Chains A and B, each alone.
Chain A
Amino acid sequence: MDYHSMSGQQSTAKSLPARTFHALCLAALLLVVSGCGGGESNVSLGNRTGTLHWGNGTEPQSLDPHIATGVPEHHIITSLMEGLVLKDSTTLAPIPGVAESWDVSDDGRVYTFHLRQNARWSNGDPHIAQDYVWSWWRALQPALGNLYAYMYYSINNAQEYYEGTITDFDQVGVKALDDYTLQVTLENPTPYFLQLLDHYSLFPVHQATVEKFGTADERGTRWTYEGNIVTNGPFQLLEWQINSRVVVERNPFYWDAENVGLNKIIFYPTENAVSEERMFRSGQLHYTNDVPTDKIPVYRNEGNPSLRVAPYLGSYFYRINTNVPHLQDKRVRRALAMAIDREQITEHILQAGQMPTYALTPPGTMGYYPKSDLTFDPEAAKQLLAEAGYPNGEGFPVTEILYNTNESHRKVAVAIQQMWNKYLNIEIKLLNQEWKVYLDSESAGQYTISRASWIGDYVDPNSFLDLFLCNGGNNRTGWCNAEYDRLILDVAPKMKSHEERLAVFQEAETLLLDAMPMIPIYIYTSKHLMNSSVKNHNGNLLDQTTFKELTLESDSSDSTGGNH
């Protein structure tokens, strides 16, 4: 009846299935072994053929420069397209791009660009000044949904045109004087204007191609797909396989084609930094988009030259909702800011050379070094909190830190939670939300304290300080100071000299830090792994890569990095 009765037949019972099982194990083993035999790695193959394998973070949302918004898109688009001006890959100073030279009027408001006669689109069409007028007109069509339209606002009447108060584009300060001369008139002398021209939102697009696949202001036509897109940069699009790869190849019509060092670049959507690091280690990538935090000390202790860490123009801070009753008192906000041991966070948790900061703007932004009276001082913080009516943290309501789901945000929040508890004796809860929910909560003001960061669009204090304007969509703290707005919007743009302008920014930043609607925590670093065969790659503050300068050296193909 039960299986004990089977015992008499065990010997036969064993034979068939057991044999099948062993055979299957063997088959599985063979399957595994047959797959081996190595083959050449991407990196060493790429070094011979001039193909760069680039870890690019995520699948690009769009390759239309007037629609795209992210860093991964930035890499691909800058390989395909070029603006009037490029940036020096080390100093970020403007250098000639499509424009071989330019003149600036004495009042700093009128720029005249002289375009290269030999500039061509990738289909051989001549590339002329009118292309810019049309492209910039297109970028300012609201129907297109261009999130970077504000990059144009320094141009005379661009904001008015975009917002519909002016309907005639001729009034906007862009004019093609002839085929090779473009004149741009600005609203105010804008010291960082030339930098903006290297941002993809001001890149030109090929009118005939865009219009072949739809109207100019139609979002999501097929003009950017492989086989369709026509561009003006060092490379042209060869292949775009969704979630798999984007391949670009040398563009023979590029004005500087002979100085382009690579034949091909393959961009991979490497979402997971841990997987990406393994791809790098096994020679599948020349360059990674990121390095997992826990791997940084390992590479560093090995002295592995693949690790590339550089300061990055980005600030990590906590927003404080100043409408929450117990956070309305600035003494409370300052007490919280003073009770964070930033050195501990950057040194022991983040470990990638991030710099503790006590101000919003990263130091050295266009020669601007913000002064701040904020320090790590738990005793003073405690006293300040007592003055605000919470001696030894008594009676302080439970306060929540909101952050979006992410390993490093979690680590920082856990550490700060513990610091505030230890130094101020207050109870802190953590609230982790999925990205879109977090965005919703933050912009609706449904948070108490929230993790935030800001990456500069261009190297100028303005890129950071205009965050906390009263009506700024990115303020989200409820803090509003008329004097601050006046300094940023009216005073700073009118300043004649750079030093005077920086002094105004310092004044504004002091106001901000005194009220402390945000708690500065650290300044970002960019972190990548790069194979030693990649040459001429210079790190810079914006973490931008000039793809046309890169070359690959085949000798050093096997130095992917040590084993660990």
Chain B
Amino acid sequence: MDRVILEKTDERGSSLWQDAWVKLRKNRLALWGLAVLVILCVVSLLTPWIAPYGYEEQDLILGATPPSAEHWLGTDIFGRDMLTRIMYGGRVSLTVGFIATGVALIIGVLWGAIAGFAGGRVDAVMMRIVDILYALPFMIFIVLLMVVFGRNIFLLFFAIGAVEWLTMARIVRGQVMALRKQEFVEAAYSLGLSQWIIIRRHIIPNTLGPVIVYTTLTIPSVMLLEAFLSFLGLGIQPPQSSWGLLISYGVETMEEFPWLLIFPGLTLSLTLFALNFLGDGLRDALDPRTSKD
């Protein structure tokens, strides 16, 4: 039985990504997810040219109004067009979501994989560092960062990435340690394959599943963390906004002006569903054990 898997994973190896693309194309939901994400990104990129209003344009006398012909998604209490604000907010949220998650992904996966693979003392030290970072008072850390480096959007990515990679590292490490003891990996060792080849051919493909799942979970929490930090004064400043901030303002008035919550909420949900379906599709497509479909 071990031999079967060994042969299979070996012959596949290099064509992992081509295979995956072929399989992904068959997954209709995943393609829809991809399409929605691409559309959202394109809209965000073009927002300054296609937004119906300026994002800071106020009309205090108009105030908060429900959706109408002039303002498709209504206006907020300053009389600002919600569609415009959601479009501009998407620029911030998508950038933060992708970049901060990317940072967390890279650090977390590398850290976890090295710790899990090396084991022993290296693992102990690396994981204790993770423990330390988990425990530090995050808010004080943020306030200090803000004071030392001033406010800028890259600091925001850094701060968010700095906390989000920890759980990722733990998950990857657990997965790698479990894999290391699997028959096919041990067999690969006994065949004299080099460590790098084992990592590339066996460990990475087999950890991708949980990593992708966790990544799709991280993006929304990153977007919400951004709202929290911006609220504290780090990150973006009004009149700029993001989906997370629009939602947290919307919550305050959800009984009076529900559209201020519903539309940013729907946009965020749509994005997350798209990400989720794409993530699941990718997970299935990259799963080595489904390759002989």
Are A349 and B237 in contact, with the CB atoms below 8 A? no
Q: A19 on the interface (CB 8 Å rule)? A: no
Are A432 and B233 in contact, with the CB atoms below 8 A? yes
Query: What size tier do the contact residues of chain B reach?
Result: 20 to 34
- A414/B238 contact (C-beta < 8 A), A2-B289, A437-B233 known: yes
Q: B231 on the interface (CB 8 Å rule)? A: yes
**Set of chain A residues within 8 Å of B233, measured between Cβ atoms:** 405, 431-434, 437
Q: When the two chains form the complex, which single residue of B56, B143, B147 contacts A418, counting CB atoms closer than 8 Å?
A: B56
Least Cβ–Cβ distance between B281 and chain A, in angstroms: 15
Are B252 and A432 in contact, with the CB atoms below 8 A? no
Q: A48 on the interface (CB 8 Å rule)? A: no
CA distance A248 to B101 in the complex (A): 51
Query: What size tier do the contact residues of chain A reach?
Result: 20 to 34
CA distance A274 to B255 in the complex (A): 11
Q: When the two chains form the complex, which single residue of B63, B238, B256 contacts A413, counting CB atoms closer than 8 Å?
A: B238
Q: When the two chains form the complex, which single residue of A294, A298, A415, A434 contacts B252, counting CB atoms closer than 8 Å?
A: A294
Q: A261 on the interface (CB 8 Å rule)? A: no
Are B77 and A411 in contact, with the CB atoms below 8 A? yes
Q: B58 on the interface (CB 8 Å rule)? A: yes
CA distance A394 to B256 in the complex (A): 41
CA distance A429 to B236 in the complex (A): 11
Q: When the two chains form the complex, which single residue of A1, A429, A431, A437 contacts B147, counting CB atoms closer than 8 Å?
A: A437
Per DSSP, chain A at the interface is helix
Q: B239 on the interface (CB 8 Å rule)? A: yes
Q: A40 on the interface (CB 8 Å rule)? A: no
Q: When the two chains form the complex, which single residue of A298, A349, A413 contacts B77, counting CB atoms closer than 8 Å?
A: A349
Are B293 and A2 in contact, with the CB atoms below 8 A? yes
Q: Mark contacts of B222-251 with chain A using CB atoms, 8 A cut-off: 1 yes-contact digit, 0 otherwise.
A: 000000000111000111000000000000
Q: Which residue of A lies closest to B4 (CB)?
A: A1
Which residues of B68-95 have CB atoms within 8 Å of chain A's CB atoms?
77-78
**Set of chain B residues within 8 Å of A292, measured between Cβ atoms:** 252
**Set of chain A residues within 8 Å of B143, measured between Cβ atoms:** 434, 437
Which residues of A338-366 have CB atoms within 8 Å of chain B's CB atoms?
344-345, 348-349
Q: When the two chains form the complex, which single residue of B60, B151, B252 contacts A349, counting CB atoms closer than 8 Å?
A: B60
Are B238 and A2 in contact, with the CB atoms below 8 A? no
Q: Which residue of B lies closest to A431 (CB)?
A: B237
**Set of chain B residues within 8 Å of A429, measured between Cβ atoms:** 237
Q: A564 on the interface (CB 8 Å rule)? A: yes
Are B237 and A415 in contact, with the CB atoms below 8 A? no
Q: A410 on the interface (CB 8 Å rule)? A: yes
Closest CB pairs A-B (n = 7)? A432-B233, A348-B60, A2-B290, A294-B253, A344-B60, A433-B233, A418-B58
6 inter-chain pairs at a CB distance below 8 angstroms, sorted by A residue, are A2-B287, A292-B252, A349-B60, A349-B78, A410-B238, A432-B237
Given contacts A2-B287, A417-B238, 10 further A-B contacts (CB under 8 A): A2-B289, A294-B252, A294-B256, A405-B231, A414-B58, A414-B238, A415-B58, A418-B56, A430-B238, A431-B237
List B residues at the A interface (Cβ < 8 Å).
Answer: 56, 58, 60-61, 63, 77-78, 143, 146-147, 151, 231-233, 237-239, 252-253, 255-257, 287, 289-290, 292-293
